[in-house]
Structure 1
Amino acid sequence: MMAVTQPTSLLLDNPPEPVVSLNEIALDEALDALDPLRHLRTDSDASEFARADEDTVAIVPLQPRSILGETIRLTFPVDFPLVSISLKVDASHGCGGIAWPAGEVLSNYIAFRGIGYLQGKNIVEVGSGTGLVGLVAGALGGTVWITDQAPLLDIMQQNVTLNNLQSCVSVRELNWGETPPSDIPPPELILAADCVYFEPAFPLLVQTLSEMAVSGSTEILFCYKKRRKADKRFFTMLKKKFSWAEV
């Protein structure tokens, strides 16, 4: 290996600016068209305007990537796939239009229990969002109603059709605190993934669960992310109506 140095006589006090090719300019313009504010962010160290010896300030805060009209594929159980679900996700109507970890965990749990666990059961998923958990339950042999507020009914129906589960999964509007649809029979199993996050809705959700679980043998499976101390209030309310344990 040898080192090559520039002769002293060629060193310049004001070196020329680096040459930028037309391809680089075109790429830069294309990136600017996609994100006009990209040079004002500090989330990328690739900006030619940033220097390592300068303190950079985030003029525009980093924004999460928007999820619009995407389709993903998930399998359950994760280690030994039994069910494969294609899922359209779209955040246009809020947080309910995307897949959250609690839904994937609950889906994995019921798939792990196997087909015999759900076969022939009437099942209702509340706060379904995309309908993921209910779709898995339907694929495992259950007769399922996936429910949520009106803005999410379309994406749920698209996901039912996408997975050819129209024969066993139905979509219904259900606002917590209101009377459940009359054509949903008393469920043997109620599924709820990540429904504990909005404190004003806690008593409404408990009311809905109480009205649907008319049989003493109704089982409710909850999966949620612990976010704040207020979550404990929900389970305090739940204890007045149900007995529960961690699984």
Structure 2
Amino acid sequence: MSDRRLTPFSGRIGHISLKDRGVPLTAGEPACVAAPLAALRAAPGGAMDRQLLFGDAVTVIDRRDGHAFVMAGKDGYCGWLAEQDLAAPRPATHRLCSPASHLYPEPRVQAPPLHPLYLNARLTVTGESGPWAETPQGYVPAIHLAPLGQPAKDPVAVAESLIGAPYLWGGNSVAGVDCSGLVQLAFHAAGLACPGDSDLQQEVGAELPETAPLKRGDLLFWKGHVALVAGPGRLLHANGYTMSVAYEDLDAATARIETHYGGQILARRRAL
């Protein structure tokens, strides 16, 4: 059975990549996310699967009741967004490299911000005004941006910048993030491909034998959960135990999860 999260079919219209499925197909129309965070849902107005970020590229496949069925360009995740959260496509030049920032109507610290921006938001820089980067939507502190061609060197350091962020199921920002959202944010910032959910993340990278020593940046998987190895005997994860992004002792976390949730480590992966 096809995974609905990765199948670009709205229930009545599919993307041309499906081919020979006996359903109406479309090439879709390009668009991008115009909201700071846009909930990607399983159905119009339904439960949130994930969040997309400002500037994320999408392909719109269908529209219904004020919602658009889209396929995300960064990971192929499919779902429904509110149409008001979409805008015409634009070529991004930079990404937000700080946990959060703001978009301003003018290059002035005292100006009331238009809205927040979050890590990995994609922006089109068209000019500079002192310490400010100018975009078609407004101004952003240039120190909070990095060119798309300059990824972060250490995904774990990126994840560490979100320590203390509240836990949010399906969240993808410092305003609220879950275990797989944290991993995806960190790996995307480092220029590494990464799916959106932990079961999908468990299928990428290289499998590590149980006896292989772990190193910083490796991933450990339990049923429904993923954590980053931050160092010897130390994990970093967004978790429902502390309801935050936090460090945890590896042995303590393993014992706690096994005791309270009946789960053992299912896989150890290393990014390629």
Normalising to structure 2: TM-score of the pair? Answer: 0.27
* Structure ID, larger Rg: 1
More strand by share: 2
Normalising to structure 1: TM-score of the pair? Answer: 0.29
More helix by share: 1
